[in-house]
Structure 1
């Protein structure tokens, strides 16, 4: 079984981050942050990832 989590965060310099955490339950997880100039761009990236996963059957 695996888990994943996403969130949008504000950076120190006015930028926005789309943070993803994933991994197997009971082991250390991996994390990736993609930085964007606007909150809208970060939210669009989150939505795009969600749609890609939905097309592959993930919930």
Structure 2
């Protein structure tokens, strides 16, 4: 019992995904497929945060 409401919501979402198409940003797609770095996707030089490599190096010492 109680599955009907969840199934109806899943059906509604599936229908929206099937029939609603979002606008495609072809310029961003072209940059992604060409392998060119995107200005927003470039990581900061020093974020001041620990990475997994830093954590592992600290454990080895």
Q: State TM-score, norm by structure 2.
A: 0.30
Flag the structure with higher strand content: 1
Q: State TM-score, norm by structure 1.
A: 0.30
Structure of higher CA gyration radius: 2
Q: Which of 1 and 2 has higher RCO (CA within 8 Å, sep 6+)?
A: 1
